[in-house]
Chains A and B, each alone.
Chain A
Amino acid sequence: MPAERRHVACAIREVPPGERRIVEIEGRSIGVFNVDGRFYALHNGCPHKGGPLCEGRVGGTTLTTRDRAFPYGREGQVVRCAWHGWEFDITTGRALADSAVRARTYPVAVEDGQIVLLL
């Protein structure tokens, strides 16, 4: 397997908390997200039907409950694919409705004000 290479995605200041930026690295489209000051990178192709996952709405969602109720939370941690709305946890890449489905994630490092991805 070829060794992972380091790629500068963008400057930290280009992705403020709650925002996301789509970058292009070696022909791959990748979403870089800032969730409460921590950075995450997801492949911008939905495992469902290949839609632009990282270009969808970012927000919270209803939390699992035993009642007929709608507790809301995970604000800023959930991205919904722009095409079909599947929800993914930005911090893990897992689909909320089916843990067997995962969006590809990339390790992120912060160096000298830059967001660096390993891929």
Chain B
Amino acid sequence: MIDCDVHNTWRSADVLLRYLPPAFREYLERGELPGGRGSFPHAHRPWLHPEDFFRVDATPPSGAPAGSDHAFMAAQLLDRYAIDVAILTGEEAIEVSTLANPHYAQALARAYNDWLVDEWLPRDSRLRGSLVVAPQDPHGAAEEIRRHGGHPGVVQVLVSTGAQRPYGDPFYDPIWDACVEVGLPLAAHLGGQGGVNANPTGCGPPTFFWETHALLCETGMGHVASTIAQGVFERWPAARFVLIECGIAWLPAILWRLDEDYRALRKETPWLTRLPSEYARDHIRLTTQPIERPRNPQALWMALDDIGAREMLMFASDYPHWDFDEPRIVRPPAEWREAVMDGNARTLYRLGAREEMTARAG
């Protein structure tokens, strides 16, 4: 089984100090920080979780932050559920997208990536990393992708779903160029819902945390529509886009709608040669968490089957967050199970077959 969203973090963001260039080390050492000493510089979303953001039982015995203790994570998640590979997605690093200063944002992303490569990937052969970049600085992001993209433990480039503009926008061309050059998918994980980024909904800011969380599908839809309409997958046929923690039930609805509207107004985007749903099937992947739970469980899979989503879905737990999905609650049809829980992620991230991995580990 592959878990496509596992959050690794630090005891203190001071671990980044030694990876920052002098100019920005000062910012982290002496500069203003939203949460005081040891906190990570970012603009927090204005919807605060009223019960904290983590599973209560995910705090290690030492009292360190959930997700900061590899041994505890291994026991509570990897060993317990027999997870072959966990894709690490960091904790606050993607929030660099909320900062107004793109130079500082990129420096922080680079520092996180160095720390990830030094401190996490060597600890456990089951871990793979996501290279975080600051998308508001596409050229700097591209440089970072080329710098670290060849690391064997790095399997994707990661940004937040919260953004100043959707990811198909030509503004991001340098990022797509670099991703394709180094052969990595671009992934967007729920987050970045503050600072310089647009609100997560088009009608103005929601009020409550749960209200906002339930709308996580909306930015996902925006990025799906944008990457397809702007022709990202025509321009870069090898490009792959992953949406992490946006749910999945909305996917059929938006693809039905995109196909319908494209057929009426094809003339606006003459660079497309196929229906939007066809691009989605070949180029877009969604992680399952937080999975929707209709009264009739079959209702979810019937709709996904209608648009051919079998190869598009990849299991994720979101450990150690409050909206964690245990593997057993994700119940695709029997003939989809292997693909959704394991095979689709192995193919996308080139993880090799399970037997090969066992042989390598031995």
A interface, CB within 8 angstroms of B: 48, 61-71, 84-87, 95-98, 101
Question: Does B270 make an interface contact (CB < 8 A)?
Answer: yes
Q: How far is the CB of A48 from chain B (nearest CB, A)?
A: 7
- Given B263, B270, B275, which contacts A86 in the complex, CB threshold below 8 Å? B263
Q: Which residues of B contact A71 (CB under 8 A)?
A: 270
Contacts A65-B271, A68-B170, A101-B263 known; list 13 others, CB within 8 Å.
A48-B263, A62-B268, A63-B270, A64-B273, A66-B271, A68-B271, A69-B270, A86-B264, A87-B266, A95-B263, A97-B262, A97-B264, A98-B263
Question: Does B234 make an interface contact (CB < 8 A)?
Answer: yes
Contact mask B249-279 → A, CB, 8 Å, 1/0? 0000000000100111111101101010000
**What size tier do the contact residues of chain B reach?**
10 to 19
Q: Which residues of B contact A68 (CB under 8 A)?
A: 170, 231, 271
Q: Which residues of B contact A101 (CB under 8 A)?
A: 263
Q: Which residues of B contact A97 (CB under 8 A)?
A: 262-264, 266, 275
Q: Which residues of A contact B273 (CB under 8 A)?
A: 64
The distance in angstroms between the C-alpha atoms of A101 and B259, with both chains bound, is 12
Cβ-defined contact, A67 with B271, below 8 A: yes
**Interface SS majority for chain B:** helix
Q: Which residue of A lies closest to B170 (CB)?
A: A68
The distance in angstroms between the C-alpha atoms of A59 and B3, with both chains bound, is 52
The distance in angstroms between the C-alpha atoms of A97 and B277, with both chains bound, is 13
Q: Which residue of A lies closest to B273 (CB)?
A: A64
- In residues 61-106 of chain B, which contact A (Cβ within 8 Å)? none
The distance in angstroms between the C-alpha atoms of A97 and B279, with both chains bound, is 14
Known contacts being A68-B170, A97-B275, A98-B275, is A85 close to B270, with CB within 8 Å? no
The distance in angstroms between the C-alpha atoms of A55 and B170, with both chains bound, is 37
Q: How far is the CB of A46 from chain B (nearest CB, A)?
A: 11
The distance in angstroms between the C-alpha atoms of A79 and B36, with both chains bound, is 64
Q: Which residues of B contact A85 (CB under 8 A)?
A: 264-265
Q: How far is the CB of A33 from chain B (nearest CB, A)?
A: 19
Question: 30 A-B residue contacts at CB 8 Å?
Answer: A48-B263, A61-B267, A62-B266, A62-B268, A62-B270, A63-B270, A64-B270, A64-B271, A65-B270, A66-B234, A66-B271, A67-B271, A68-B170, A68-B271, A69-B270, A70-B270, A71-B270, A85-B265, A86-B263, A87-B266, A87-B267, A96-B266, A97-B263, A97-B264, A97-B266, A97-B275, A98-B259, A98-B263, A98-B275, A101-B263
Q: Which residues of B contact A69 (CB under 8 A)?
A: 270
Q: Which residue of B lies closest to A65 (CB)?
A: B270
The distance in angstroms between the C-alpha atoms of A70 and B231, with both chains bound, is 13
Q: Which residues of A contact B170 (CB under 8 A)?
A: 68
The distance in angstroms between the C-alpha atoms of A101 and B263, with both chains bound, is 10
Q: How far is the CB of B260 from chain A (nearest CB, A)?
A: 9
The distance in angstroms between the C-alpha atoms of A66 and B237, with both chains bound, is 12
Shortest beta-carbon contacts, A-B, top 9: A97-B266, A62-B270, A97-B263, A62-B267, A85-B264, A61-B267, A84-B264, A65-B270, A98-B263
The distance in angstroms between the C-alpha atoms of A69 and B268, with both chains bound, is 10
Q: Which residues of B contact A63 (CB under 8 A)?
A: 270
Q: Which residues of A contact B271 (CB under 8 A)?
A: 64-68
The distance in angstroms between the C-alpha atoms of A97 and B275, with both chains bound, is 7
Q: Which residue of B lies closest to A67 (CB)?
A: B271
Q: Which residues of A contact B259 (CB under 8 A)?
A: 98
Q: Which residue of A lies closest to B269 (CB)?
A: A62
The distance in angstroms between the C-alpha atoms of A84 and B266, with both chains bound, is 12
The distance in angstroms between the C-alpha atoms of A85 and B263, with both chains bound, is 9
Q: Which residue of A lies closest to B231 (CB)?
A: A68
Q: Which residue of A lies closest to B264 (CB)?
A: A85
The distance in angstroms between the C-alpha atoms of A86 and B270, with both chains bound, is 14
The distance in angstroms between the C-alpha atoms of A48 and B265, with both chains bound, is 13
Q: Which residues of A contact B266 (CB under 8 A)?
A: 61-62, 87, 96-97
Q: Which residues of B contact A86 (CB under 8 A)?
A: 263-264
Q: Which residues of A contact B265 (CB under 8 A)?
A: 85
Q: Which residue of A lies closest to B276 (CB)?
A: A97
Q: Which residue of B lies closest to A61 (CB)?
A: B267
Q: Which residues of B contact A62 (CB under 8 A)?
A: 266-268, 270
The distance in angstroms between the C-alpha atoms of A76 and B275, with both chains bound, is 25
